[in-house]
Chain A
Amino acid sequence: SYELTQPPSVSVSPGQTARITCSGDALPKQYAYWYQQKPGQAPVLVIYKDSERPSGIPERFSGSSSGTTVTLTISGVQAEDEADYYCQSADSSVVFGGGTKLTVL
Chain B
Amino acid sequence: AQSVTQLDSQVPVFEEAPVELRCNYSSSVSVYLFWYVQYPNQGLQLLLKYLSGSTLVESINGFEAEFNKSQTSFHLRKPSVHISDTAEYFCAVTIITGRRALTFGSGTRLQVQP
Are A and B a genuine interacting pair, yes or no?
Answer: no
